[in-house]
Amino acid sequence: MPKILLVANTDWYLYRFRLSLACFLRDQGNEVVLVSPPGRYATGLRDAGFRWQAWNIGRQTINPVGELSAIQELVKVFQHERPDVVHLHTIKPVLYGSLAARFARVPIVVRSITGRGYIFLGNDLKARWLRPLIKGMYRLILREASSATIFENGTDMQYFVDNNLVSSSHTYVIQGVGVDTSYYHAFPESDQKPVVLLATRMLWDKGVETFVKAGEMLKPENLARFVLVGEPDLGNPASIDGRILKRWEQDGIIEWWGFREDMRAVFAESHLVTLPSLGEGVPTVLLEAAACSRAIVATDVPGCREVVKHGINGLLVPPKDPRALASAIKQLLENKPLRQRMGEEGRQLMVKRFSIQQINDQTLAVYRNLLYRPQT
């Protein structure tokens, strides 16, 4: 029975995005252990019947020389668990976990690149300084024959291949983490004043400011309520100060609902979902919104365009263009039949291509391809 370790930089990530995979792998007869820094979701992981191992690591720096203790701690976890497969998620686990796996002689390492994120999308001094360092580390760790790298969209994969960060023979594209189309089901729109929703971490590179500016442009027409759902991510350099969010709310431009545990209920309250991001892997929030039959307005960038088919289940607009975003939102607010038809199309697309069962099957196939590959 293979032992598989799923590693992430927060327990929230494992609980929110990978618990379904863990349950699926267990049902297939694998032993599954979850590894992350401690937090309030560790209890939920244990309650689901999994062993959870704490890994103490910060999120605000990417400096392996200064964080050797975190790498050493992960080496000890790997040596103790002796896994057949380690699956690493998000940038620091991918970088540090790959080094730890090499020291611990883990036979198979699978890495999920969930988007290029701040390091590759940011233009501030820190991002520009870190980018060549991270590229060098990726070149070092992503080219091992006993490993695989999973990307969420083909654009990100091609970027890594073109920059000689990974060998194309060791790469796979699996479009996101999937959506439970039974839990996230179609909801009728309420008869209340329409709600335009942006649900995400409160980061500048998620296009939050673009959303707020679009809301400000449409405010005189009083067409809808513009709602932000999510919290600042203090471990991310692109995090938005909570005082700015409160000021936008006090100015009457948006409503900030903060963190919401029950996203299905949030989608049921909404009429239109947006994500004016600068770049994504495949955004789970859009998969869930579409599964709930909500039309989407998103930016025409990698990740978003995998979910939104322009004119079919939503509209795509240029990034950093609040006027284009406002125009697309207004078009769908004023055309309820079109908005609802797009919602129905989105629901069908999720069932056909993005169900959690399909994504989990694809992930297991990557493991098996490495576990049972012919010996040379």
pLDDT in tens, 222-273: 999 999 999 998 878 889 999 999 999 999 999 999 999 999 999 999 999 9
Residue 195 parent element (H or E): strand 195-199
- CA 279, 122, 131, 56 dihedral sign is negative
With beta carbons less than 8 A apart as the criterion, state whether 151 and 157 touch. yes
Residue 128 token pair = 């520009």
With beta carbons less than 8 A apart as the criterion, state whether 297 and 329 touch. yes
With beta carbons less than 8 A apart as the criterion, state whether 14 and 6 touch. yes
How far apart are the C-alpha atoms of 41 and 47, rounded to whole Å?
Answer: 10
- Closest C-alpha to 212, from 272, 274, 161: 274
Is residue 252 in some structural domain? yes
Domain that holds residue 69: 3-178+355-371
The CA-to-CA distance between both ends of the chain, in Å, stands at 23
Residue-wise pLDDT tens digits, 166-224: 888 889 999 999 999 999 999 999 999 999 999 999 999 999 999 999 999 999 999 99
Q: Are residues 349 and 361 in the same domain?
A: no
> Which of helix, strand or coil describes residue 37?
coil
Name the β-bridge partners of 307. none
Phi and psi dihedrals of 122, rounded to 5? -70, 150
Q: Are residues 166 and 72 in the same domain?
A: yes
Q: Are residues 145 and 236 in the same domain?
A: no
Q: Are residues 58 and 150 in the same domain?
A: yes
Q: How many domains does the chain have?
A: 2
Q: Tokens 């023979």 sit at which residue?
A: 169
Is residue 41 in some structural domain? yes
Q: Is 66 exposed, middle or buried (0-12, 13-18, 19+ CB in 10 A)?
A: exposed
- Closest C-alpha to 201, from 240, 143, 157: 240
Confidence bin at 114 (pLDDT 50/70/90)? confident
Is residue 248 in some structural domain? yes
Amino acid at 165: L
Q: Tokens 């940038």 sit at which residue?
A: 91
Is residue 183 in some structural domain? no
With beta carbons less than 8 A apart as the criterion, state whether 114 and 10 touch. no
pLDDT of residue 376: 47
Q: Are residues 53 and 11 in the same domain?
A: yes
Instruction: Please report, for the domain that includes residue 278, its CATH number.
Output: 3.40.50.2000
